[in-house]
Structure 1
């Protein structure tokens, strides 16, 4: 498997302008970037030109679940403008969450419907996890299993850092959902209680055993690896350290 390594532009949100980051990321060795809303909100075509001019690609982008449900045509157009093949809703805001299996099944059903609408355009829909999907519901089930249980068309961008913070095992999740995982975020986390950078680190600098997980990446359907840090003080150090570490692991 040949992997593309992309950079989640959310990591750079506090260091505008984003366009200046693109050639730097190319020089570091990145293949592409993963935009998030609002990075492409005003002018997706402009962002596409900036990405192209830097010699990068856009393989995937984050988008609101509400956009997939209420404005699928708009976001399919955005995907095609950006050149992305993976549409990725990443979040349910806390005030909207319900602590029931039925609620999370409905989330999965919405993703499945969006995936069916996107498929004729050559696009796939992937869910991106945080920690709350791994907190057991009153009946003992987990939201993530209901989300991905809605149908095989609902795919997965797995975030190993958030799984670790939830007290779950990323190795178990990589094995369980290997055939559904099309993108992997090797997000790393510092020991619990760390305050610096909200406890996030560059890949390879935290507590996750990446040499043990790397062989499991290769058992999934993923062809895309996306670095991300939720609040880096130094985005360049994070970006360079992460890709260097991933390349050393053989990606």
Structure 2
């Protein structure tokens, strides 16, 4: 089991070498990459190796995976990625009905087969929009997981909270599909609060103890990922997350 930092959290605090020094100083095993880390994969891999950090998984946009698959594969191999994660749909690309989400699942199923054919695992990473019901009360996240049955899931628990959902229920219902979890919390007044309403793990509104107990029952869980979508203080976020994670993980 690894603890990783999603480097999107640190995008406003570059240079990357200084950020990776901070990640290492707080005892994380490595990082989860995103597009800004892929501009020069060889150079970024060197920064990781010099600090003894790993990048076992990374976020790769649908446009890249469908439009330049060979480049995505090359980036992944260079950086030592094992799990390719599709992370996002732009608002204009999001389906609005059951048929649209099933069509999206077909696209992901094709990508899943291609990515696995190159020796990687493949997973989808959720935001809040996958939990907005379409006709007949169907939830898009269920549609994606049911229509692409081999695809894994990186469950962003913070976005489930933001959508008004219950992370614990989703972890129980989809235990066999979850290979990684993004751990972040929300502030009580998240619609108007600073930092876009996000809170560091252990410093928001949620009771994480039963969720951490549930992690022990997830057969395929490999990574706990620290994330904050818009921290004003990167060092505070990394320090608090690490402290909260250690405390929660020890209360089993």
Tell me the TM-score range normalised by the shorter chain: over 0.9
Name 1:15's counterpart in structure 2.
13
Matched, 1:77 2:74: yes
Alignment equivalent of 2:128, drawn from 124, 131, 136: 131
Alignment equivalent of 2:117, drawn from 115, 120, 136: 120
**Distance in 2, Cα, partners of 1:136 & 1:17:** 41
Name 1:36's counterpart in structure 2.
34
**Distance in 2, Cα, partners of 1:53 & 1:104:** 43
Matched, 1:191 2:188: yes
After the TM superposition, list the runs of 4 or more consecutive aligned residues in structure 1 that deviate by more than 6 angstroms.
none
1:161–1:189 Cα contact (<8 Å) kept: yes
Matched, 1:173 2:156: no
**Distance in 2, Cα, partners of 1:225 & 1:69:** 27
1:88–1:127 Cα contact (<8 Å) kept: yes
2:108–2:148 Cα contact (<8 Å) kept: no
1:134–1:142 Cα contact (<8 Å) kept: yes
Post-superposition Cα deviations, 1:93-129, rounded to whole Å, max 9, x if no partner, equal: 0011221111111221112111111213321111110
**Distance in 2, Cα, partners of 1:118 & 1:97:** 22
Shift of 1:212: 1.3
2:152–2:178 Cα contact (<8 Å) kept: yes
Q: Which runs of 5+ in 2 are unaligned?
A: none
Shift of 1:24: 1.7
Name 1:103's counterpart in structure 2.
100
Name 2:231's counterpart in structure 1.
232
2:187–2:193 Cα contact (<8 Å) kept: no
Name 2:222's counterpart in structure 1.
223
**Distance in 1, Cα, partners of 2:43 & 2:147:** 35
Shift of 1:139: 2.8
- Does 79-88 or 60-69 show the bigger shift? 60-69
2:185–2:203 Cα contact (<8 Å) kept: yes
Q: Which runs of 5+ in 1 are unaligned?
A: none
2:86–2:125 Cα contact (<8 Å) kept: yes
With the length of structure 1 as denominator, give the TM-score of the two structures: 0.95
Secondary structure of the 2:148 match is coil
Shift of 1:218: 1.6
With the length of structure 2 as denominator, give the TM-score of the two structures: 0.95
